[in-house]
Amino acid sequence: MILRTDLCGWIVLDKPMGMSSNHANSIVKHLLGAKTGHAGTLDPLATGVLPIAVGSATRLIPYLVQSAKTYLATLQWGEKRDTDDSTGLVTHTSLKTPTQEEIAHVLPSFLGNIIQYPPQFSALKIRGKRACDRIRRGEDVALAPRTVHINALTLVSHKENVRQTTLRVTCGKGTYIRSLARDLGYALQTFAHIIALRRERVGLFSETHAIPLEKFRAMGHSAESCVVQPESALDDILVTLSVQNCLQKGQILENYAEQGTHLVRLVCASTGSLLGLAGAKDGQWRCVWKS
């Protein structure tokens, strides 16, 4: 298959339940006939915003995954599952259901930098193979803890009669909402797992930008009209630097030492048009994407 090189930007999908992020990415790749890559895995159980980079915009994926993400998560109290969501087997049970007041009291302790153990059933790789695949083959898996950041955590609803609570979570890269549910259960002296999860936002991309996958597939050849500009996902983390001439990918930017950002928009000094994006590497700023 010869891939198109004239498309560059993002497709923002509304991923349906039951489909893997890789499968959704493959559908976009096949339909557009271009190189693609998704910016952040969504569990098959989860729905919502899945940005997929097209063409040379795939070089920008490492920058988008640094952006904050917002999720709407529904927890079921009283059961621990081996996957930390409703797809797994029940391993422990508890009769305790926390009250709304108890939940609200413990939420602040999960804000900021926290230590998380990823779910054992995850796509994290151990010696080149996914943890979930190793577990299914009967192997013992031990995943190292990691530091993640929770920006905001709010209680949306609590239904004590069905033992369910819905939370809205805004978090940084690498955060597992399944792990958060599990750890909230422990903190409240019970068990919990995720029964519904929706990603509402990735950086500047929200649900209003997301195209339902089936609608995208039905567009056929006209689907390329949905590709949005490569820098559109990154405007909230970009600063602008005017340069005199077009840069080549990898070229060093002289005399630039801006702090507090990890990506810079390069525009033409005379016309203001976008020339590319630059990122810091080994103490130097280089052009990482050329328009």
Using CB atoms within 10 A of its CB, is residue 82 exposed (0-12), middle (13-18) or buried (19+)?
Answer: middle
Which residue, 30, 27, 31, 3, is CA-closest to 15?
27
Question: What is the DSSP code (8-state) at residue 261?
Answer: -
Residue 43 annotated in active site: yes
Strand partners, 211: 13
Cα distances (angstroms) measured from residue 61 to each of 10, 76, 89, 156: 10, 33, 34, 31
Q: Residue 1 in contact with residue 33, Cβ under 8 Å? A: yes
Token duo for residue 103:
């939940």
DSSP letters, 21-90, are HHHHHHHHHHHHTB-EEESS---TT-EEEEEEEEGGGGGGHHHHTTS-EEEEEEEEETEEETTSBTTS-E
Q: Which of 43, 84, 85, 183 is catalytic?
A: 43
Q: Residue 149 in contact with residue 113, Cβ under 8 Å? A: yes
Residues taking part in catalysis: 43
